[in-house]
Amino acid sequence: MALRVKALFIYPVKSCQGIQVDEAEISKKGFKYDRYWMIVDGKGDMVTQRKMTRLGSIGTKMVQKDGQTGVELTWNGERPITVWEKDESDIRQTAEVFGGVMKNALVCGEDVNTWLDEALGAKVPTYKLLQCPKDEKRDVEMDMAVNVPGEGYTTGFADGFPYLALLQSSLDEINKKASESASFDSNLHTLDVRRFRPNILIEGDVIPNDDDDWHEVQIGKGTFHFVTACERCVLTTINPDTQKMDQRMTPSNALTLLNKYRNFGRGALFGQNCVSQSHETIVRKGDTVYVTSRRTATTKDHDLGKKPSSLPSCGVLSLFSVLSFAAAVGLAIKRSKPNPAQ
């Protein structure tokens, strides 16, 4: 089967539940409305499931009314509250995102802040919902990028890159490895795609992790550049239905599994971080995917953290061999000389 888009996802509020959509619009900071809102604490620091797994209980749904766009939040499917998109002239504050700072994030209002405090169990006012400003951005780290055209790639409240792609074959492989455990229970330990939070899930006749050496990829009418493999964190170990974190040796602990076969020196890698300049282009579920160019072997190994074969090591080995041979020859010559003691 040819490669195609199996599913598309956006995550309106960072680290909360995502939404599967039939189509998504490419923008400068990722798919439109993806990680458009973010929860922060009293210091303005981002709050994620890494430290508060309860965020996984917050459901999200995009809504529209009278020309306005907003997001409806629910707590375990109940207590809905709608947050409407803020005007750029509204109140702003500073927010921290992975060491980066956005100075002009928009404050969404006291009603939703109170709702968050109650949902997340805060005894005093603690949490705020912020909206990503249109007039501010975070630059994407392009240290690993090779031959990626253009510059000025940006993101909003996403961790580091605007897009994340994943292969269905890679997801199938990690589930197969999980099933090889003697304690595996398909009802408890199947690794749902929600654990890995991709924007684009791709299926078709392709080997697992083939995207390690994808460079330029055409998806529908949009062009994406696959920049670097995604280093995974503890979010992959959180059950999306229970919000409980797997124990290290549980068959469904994705980090334990990935570290066994997908850690080449820079962490457990799974899926690909991407960028795109096909702004305002629509990507749709079912779109055909074409890999139009691939990385070189050297670039791929560098990205994965693999250490290339080292000439100095070979030189040391060769020198050792030469010295060993010389020592053996010297010993033979010594033994061939007459011994005065005899």
Structure confidence by residue, pLDDT tens digits, 266-306: 999 999 999 999 999 999 999 999 999 999 998 888 889 88
Q: Whole-angstrom Cα distance, residue 274 to residue 316?
A: 40
Phi (first) and psi of residue 108, to 5 degrees: -85, -15
For the chain, the straight-line distance linking the first and the last C-alpha, in angstroms and rounded, comes to: 84
Residue 27 identity = S
Q: Are 50 and 255 in contact, with CB atoms under 8 Å apart?
A: no
Specify the pLDDT at position 328. 42
Specify the pLDDT at position 308. 58
Instruction: At 148, list the tokens.
Output: 């990626």
Q: Whole-angstrom Cα distance, residue 214 to residue 212?
A: 6
- Segments in the chain below pLDDT 70: 308-342
Q: Whole-angstrom Cα distance, residue 38 to residue 44?
A: 10
pTM over 0.85: yes
Using the 8-state DSSP alphabet, how is residue 18 labeled? Answer: -
> Where do the H-state alpha helices sit in the chain?
110-119, 168-179, 186-189, 254-261, 297-304, 311-336
